[in-house]
Amino acid sequence: MGLNAISEFGQRDAGVTRITRNAARRLRQTLMRVLTRAKKQREISSDAGLDFMADFFESTLAGIRMAAKAGKSRHALRNIAAFASRAYIASDCRTAAERRASRRLSIRPSD
């Protein structure tokens, strides 16, 4: 329902915007709690950027919800989630210097 509301109304309807922002805030808080705990338990790198990770997982979850709406099977949705997790973990295997260098790259939107 949230994706439909965002797609249909964007930020044109104040009530819809308030509801979707509150839901997004709660999701973000939950992700940050889980990621912080994982970092403390050394399940993820001590220099992992939790905000970047949360952005990635928020986007991945939105994509999975959209794929479900499009009729993807549970099996396919699980595979998407597993692949996204493996891809993120593989990207986290770079050295700290490589991660710092990639953060300095700027991506400019084309005109």
* Top-confidence residue, 1 or 53: 53
CA distance 111 to 104: 22
Q: What is the pLDDT of residue 105?
A: 52
Q: What is the pLDDT of residue 16?
A: 77
Task: For residue 74, give both structure tokens.
Answer: 């549970």
Q: How confident is the model at residue 110 (pLDDT cuts 50, 70, 90)?
A: very low
CA distance 85 to 79: 10
Q: What is the pLDDT of residue 109?
A: 47
pLDDT digits (tens, 9 = 90+) for 74-91: 999 999 999 988 887 777
pLDDT digits (tens, 9 = 90+) for 12-52: 677 877 888 898 899 999 999 999 998 899 888 888 889 98
Q: How confident is the model at residue 102 (pLDDT cuts 50, 70, 90)?
A: low
Task: For residue 6, give both structure tokens.
Answer: 């965002």
Helices 74-91 and 50-69 pack at an angle, to 10 degrees, of: 160
